[in-house]
Amino acid sequence: MIKKFFITGTDTNVGKTFVSSILLQKATAAGYQTAGYKPVSSGCKKEIYSLMNNDAMILKKNSSIKLSNQEVNPISFLESAPPHILSQLQKKTINIEDMSLGLENITKKSNWILIEGAGGWYTPLSNEKTFSDWVKKEQLTVIIIVGIKLGCINHAILTEKAIISEKIKCIGWIANNVLPYNQYNIYYIQTLLNYIKSPLLGTIPYLKNKNKINLEKIKIKLP
């Protein structure tokens, strides 16, 4: 059975890629053939034959199967701006069918796939379609990454309500401490436990050095 999960966040810069790298490592350790997929990205650097997004590079590095840059990130933009705006300015259409073809290709090679979105749940792909439309089309199961900081309670509640309203399965949420611990973090998480219907899969502590991770100390329930 092939497992496919879509990672969305309560906002941009909430640690979607960092948490995704941990999930990929844990799934690999559990014996899965894992693959990270970022269908659309912006804010890339130029390589010899293509553009490469840093988040996509991290997903590629933490996948257990070998994937090319194009397979991990088929649609990319050099500048750091919303993809749909860059798409319009550069007359480079973000084709949902291309996103689906990329996922289909990875599905042939992997049985545990983590798909990372861009920004939050309703990040536009065009003036007509958002990322949520593609997730619904592909019938993906969603994991919400909540960056624990001021404003996260409202954003998390709204995100889950939006997902559920579209009859998309949300398997759970992960609390990511994106800022150094403060006295209110535990209260943010406790409040979310009271409001969020989906289960808490785990909590990521604040890590100053994200290159040195002890997976055994990070308790996350692997979906």
205 a known binding residue? yes
pLDDT at position 59: 97
38 is a catalytic site residue: yes
Has residue 222 been placed in a domain? no
Annotated binding residue 42: yes
Distance of CA 60 to the CA centre of its chain: 13
How many domains in the chain?
1
- From 38, 91, 210, 219, active-site residue: 38
**What range does the domain containing 152 cover?**
3-217
Contact by Cβ (8 Å): 151, 42: no
Can you give the pTM of this predicted structure? Answer: 0.94
Cα-based distances in Å from 121 to 53, 64, 74: 20, 27, 20
Indicate whether 73 belongs to any domain: yes
Residue 152 lies in a domain: yes
199 marked as binding residue:
no
Q: What is the C-alpha separation between 183 and 135, in angstroms, rounded?
A: 36
Find the CATH number of the domain harbouring 65.
3.40.50.300
pLDDT score for 99: 97
Rounded Cα gap, residues 211 and 223, in angstroms: 24
Task: Check whether 43 is labelled as a binding-site residue.
Answer: no
Tell me if 15 is assigned to a ligand binding site: yes
In a domain, 107, yes or no: yes
Q: Is residue 56 part of a domain?
A: yes
Give the CA radius of gyration of the chain: 17
Q: Which residue has the tokens 């798409």?
A: 87
Residue 186 lies in a domain: yes
State the pLDDT at residue 49. Answer: 63
Output the pLDDT for position 119. Answer: 86
Assigned domain for 85 exists:
yes
Is residue 223 in a domain? no
pLDDT in tens, the chain (223 residues): 899 999 999 988 899 999 999 999 999 999 999 999 999 999 888 776 677 789 999 999 999 999 999 999 999 998 888 999 999 999 999 999 999 999 999 999 999 999 999 989 999 999 999 999 999 999 999 999 999 999 999 999 999 999 999 999 999 999 999 988 778 899 999 999 999 999 999 999 988 777 777 777 788 989 8
pLDDT, position 139: 96
With beta carbons less than 8 A apart as the criterion, state whether 141 and 4 touch: yes
Q: List residues bridging with 120 in a β-sheet.
A: 9
